[in-house]
Amino acid sequence: MAKILCVLYDDPADGFPPAYARDAIPVIDHYPNGQTAPTPSAVDFTPGHLLGSVSGALGLRPFLEAAGHTLVVTSDKDGADSAFDRELADADVVISQPFWPAYLTAERIARAPRLKLAVTAGIGSDHVDLDAAIAHGVTVAEVTYSNSISVAEHVVMMILSLVRNYLPAHRVVLDGGWNIADAVARAYDLEGMDVGTVAAGRIGLAVLRRLAPFDVRLHYTDRHRLPESVERELNLTFHESAAAMVPHCDVVTVNAPLHPETEGLFDDALLGSMRRGSYLINTARARIADRDAVVRALESGRLAGYAGDVWYPQPAPADHPWRTMPHQGMTPHISGSTLSAQARYAAGTREILESWLAGTPIRDEYLIVDGGRLAGAGAHSYSTGT
Ligand code: NDP
């Protein structure tokens, strides 16, 4: 019997379960590239309910406990005295979400001799030291595509909200005011702007598709070029690198994984090469941008706005400078954890566990590391090294 250690964010401050705003969510059975949505043998939860917090337990408890496995769920994840550290010693499987990541460092992996599987309930496994996972034979899997569209929608929302100065204008209403000039002095139309994405994978391409009807000029850079038919359909301009692309853009959105090639990419030099008054939206991973360089670029006016939902570390400390820097539209890490997304990645987590417990192959598209090497989706999109 296996011990499954699941690290999830805290329940709502108002208690669990919350009162739901809607009665149901649409059924999504496949993704834009034809990949089927998760196909576990069954689920023990109501789609649209809160599954990502501790009491929701990703809907896994009945299934795992009925089969005699031990499920430990905690939100206490950081520091040597954390429940996560204590329970890790004899855990076979660790599950966590990028929104509340259980950082599986090399030291922690070394102290978890039974650990065989690390599942990301969502997408983005950079909270796992992939080199250490490879060295210790730990399989890493994530629920590819489960929340890609959720994030793409968030990106579009943040682009419009920054360019049109939505949040400060809303603040005027909350404050009981009506000063139109204050609200519009930084407001523009997106129409006609140059918008570029760093990476055109599942999220990046979905953002491009969603923005095309806004009559913008679309740009992208990626390690692999999109099919010519897609470039033509969306009238895309390809650039060899982020450095080659960003000087041609008014809005840049980052949709690449965090790995050695992308860490620290948006530093003073790259930000300094952007058009004055550019907007940068990063819902990928915080460390793709240099934290203090972003603050400097906003203060100097090189950036007219920055938004995203990814921070380092997570949760972000109360004095994190991105909480108070000017012209920003940050949210906590929420874009990929809508109730709609949770239903998919909870089902996908169960699908991965069912395969692993039965000794049958995990879907290739879910694999990041397997058999001591990058595998599946990981072999395509990640690199190793520090
Ligand atoms: P995909 O794997 O579909 O796409 C990632 C793309 O990044 C691939 O096209 C890959 O290129 C490209 N890429 C990798 N390295 C580079 C590089 N050095 N320069 C340019 N492009 C590069 O993943 P998704 O689109 O589904 O997700 C992307 C990332 O978004 C995730 O890794 C995660 O970090 C983040 N994310 C954030 C969420 C949130 O809640 N905020 C939720 C989900 C994901 P190629 O494959 O051609 O090599």
CATH classification at residue 115: 3.40.50.720
Residue 155 belongs to some domain of the structure: yes
For ligand 1, say whether the CB of 310 is within 6 Å of any of its atoms: yes
For ligand 1, say whether the CB of 203 is within 6 Å of any of its atoms: yes
pLDDT recorded at residue 346: 98
257 within 8 A of 381, measured Cβ to Cβ: yes
pLDDT recorded at residue 339: 98
| 3-state SS assignment for residue 308 | strand
Average pLDDT over residues 3-15: 97
Residue 80 belongs to some domain of the structure: yes
pLDDT recorded at residue 94: 98
Residue 233 belongs to some domain of the structure: yes
> What percentage of the chain carries pLDDT values higher than 90?
97
Tens-digit pLDDT profile for residues 15-39: 999 999 999 999 999 999 999 999 9
**What is this structure's pTM?**
0.96
Q: How many domains does the chain have?
A: 2
| pLDDT band of 382, cuts 50, 70, 90 | confident
Beta bridge partners of 74: 7
Same domain for 309 and 168? yes
Tell me the pLDDT of the chain averaged across its residues.
Answer: 97
CA 84 to mean position of chain CA atoms: 22
Same domain for 293 and 223? yes
Same domain for 131 and 18? yes
> What percentage of the chain carries pLDDT values higher than 70?
99
pLDDT recorded at residue 175: 97
Same domain for 11 and 38? yes
What is the Å distance from ligand 1's center to 311 Cα? 16
pLDDT recorded at residue 385: 67
The contacts of residue 386 (CB under 8 Å, 6+ apart) are 131, 260
Residue of 221, 255, 281 to test ligand 1 pocket, by largest number of atoms within 8 Å of CB: 255
Is residue 150 scored above 90 in pLDDT?
yes
pLDDT recorded at residue 345: 98
For ligand 1, say whether the CB of 261 is within 6 Å of any of its atoms: yes
Residue nearest atom 4 in ligand 1 by C-alpha distance: 201
Residue 316 belongs to some domain of the structure: yes
pLDDT recorded at residue 383: 79
Is residue 182 scored above 80 in pLDDT?
yes
Tens-digit pLDDT profile for residues 236-258: 999 999 999 999 999 999 999 99
Same domain for 245 and 155? yes
The contacts of residue 379 (CB under 8 Å, 6+ apart) are 373
Distance CA 246, CA 375 (A): 31
Is residue 386 scored above 60 in pLDDT?
no
Residue 329 belongs to some domain of the structure: no
Residue 253 belongs to some domain of the structure: yes
Same domain for 81 and 116? yes
Same domain for 370 and 301? no
Residue 196 belongs to some domain of the structure: yes
pLDDT recorded at residue 281: 98
Residue 220 belongs to some domain of the structure: yes
Average pLDDT over residues 287-308: 98
| pLDDT band of 80, cuts 50, 70, 90 | confident
Lowest mean pLDDT among 64-73, 158-167, 300-309, 373-382: 373-382
Token pair recorded at residue 194: 């140059």
Same domain for 163 and 312? yes
What DSSP string runs through 200-244?
-SHHHHHHHHHHGGG--EEEEE-SSPPPHHHHHHHTEEE-SSHHH
Same domain for 152 and 220? yes
Long-range pairs for 266-269 at CB < 8 Å and ≥24 separation? 266/242, 266/290, 266/293, 266/294, 267/293, 268/293, 268/296, 268/297
Any idea which residues carry the catalytic annotation? 147, 285, 314, 333
Same domain for 126 and 82? yes
For ligand 1, say whether the CB of 25 is within 6 Å of any of its atoms: no
pLDDT recorded at residue 298: 98
Same domain for 234 and 101? no
Same domain for 24 and 99? yes
Lowest mean pLDDT among 3-7, 77-81, 118-122, 267-271: 77-81
Do β-strands 278-282 and 236-238 pair in parallel, antiparallel, or remain unpaired? unpaired
Distance CA 252, CA 282 (A): 8
- Residues spanned by the domain of 203: 148-323
